[in-house]
Structure 1
């Protein structure tokens, strides 16, 4: 059996994937709100429902697609459990909805800044949400 070695994804790879995921999510929202419904799409990103929906996209797609979101797939990285076991619904809800969305809301974004610094500075490139859920983002 072949041994596969994974490397943790750097801050910049993860940032690139997040940017692409944002485009994938925000562009259709803009089209629906602004062009089809005639509503102000710029306010949608400030709405908790929009942010929750974005968190659910980030939680559900990796479950269905072996740890990938569209942005992560494009830059060649994916989410996996740090211990190598299969990710479940609870893992991804803990990571994205509780560890990122709720914690970010409660701390007024401070946890997002701290998490970004952790990803940039830690050798294993894991943020708060990764630590809470026991996940890591890797590339081969």
Structure 2
């Protein structure tokens, strides 16, 4: 089955794409959540057993022996139902299982799940679990084009994969140097005719200069800077006279930025 996607347009007309979570990822998250709840349920029953065992030897509690049972039963019901409701609303649509798998519940319009939607979604969970083992919910998720169970349809929600933040591209040494000097493309004004007059050979010369910038001793770098400046900048009508070595370096580095946009992906 191919990956399904949901495209949402914000009021600012910005398109956001989500990958819809399928049956496999949702089942994995549900199994994790149920395993956690099962552990808590077993611990509660074990504690109840010891409490009841102690109460049998105490005449004071003989008339109220069913009270702890009622408390545990009600508590476990609230826990097992409220777990999903609480985490999905207060934890950004993610239970512990969903967080581990990397999925979350959101509104169909892309907004975070609301209190009412979370309540309705998890109330209908009781129907999705019929007749047993979430059979109805599994069938709905498998056949629905957006992998929705009945609770999602009623509440207007959808389960999607977390949108991973794009990793920032690691800066090269020359890019770090350019940033350190505070240089931008706007520092060198070139008209269209001058920009188009630079050839692939010129770009290769500038890019080679930039790649070797940190490898050369200062004295050799200053000589190379003057040679390239005389060869390229003067020919293009860019003022060179009276500029210091640092000024010429800055001009060539900015030229590198400008030509990079023009030539890097064309060669």
Task: Name the TM tier (shorter chain).
Answer: 0.7 to 0.9
Q: Is the counterpart of residue 28 in structure 1 residue 40 in structure 2?
A: yes
Runs of 5+ unmatched residues, structure 2: 1-11, 51-72, 164-267
TM-score, normalisation: structure 2: 0.43
Q: Which moved more, 1:71-80 or 1:55-64?
A: 55-64
Rg larger for: 2
Runs of 5+ unmatched residues, structure 1: 40-46
**Structure (1/2) with the larger helix percentage:** 1
Deviation at 1:48, TM superposition (A): 7.5
CA deviations on 1:83-129 (whole Å, 9 max, x unpaired) are 123322211110002x112x358xxx149422211101222101100
Q: Which residue of 2 aligns with 1:42?
A: none
Q: Is the counterpart of residue 122 in structure 1 residue 144 in structure 2?
A: yes
Q: Is the counterpart of residue 89 in structure 1 residue 115 in structure 2?
A: yes
Q: Is the counterpart of residue 8 in structure 1 residue 20 in structure 2?
A: yes
2: CA distance, partners of 1:62 / 1:48 = 21
Aligned residues: 127
- Shift >6 Å, 4+ stretches: none
2: CA distance, partners of 1:76 / 1:3 = 22
2: CA distance, partners of 1:104 / 1:114 = 5
TM-score, normalisation: structure 1: 0.78
1: CA distance, partners of 2:41 / 2:149 = 27
- Give the direction of change, closer, same or farther, for the CA distance of 1:116–1:49 in structure 2 (3 Å limit): farther
Q: How does 1:1-140 map to 2 (within 5 A)?
A: 4-34=16-46, 36-38=47-49, 50-97=76-123, 99-101=124-126, 103=127, 109-110=130-131, 112-139=134-161, 140=163
CA deviations on 1:7-35 (whole Å, 9 max, x unpaired) are 1101011011000001111102211212x
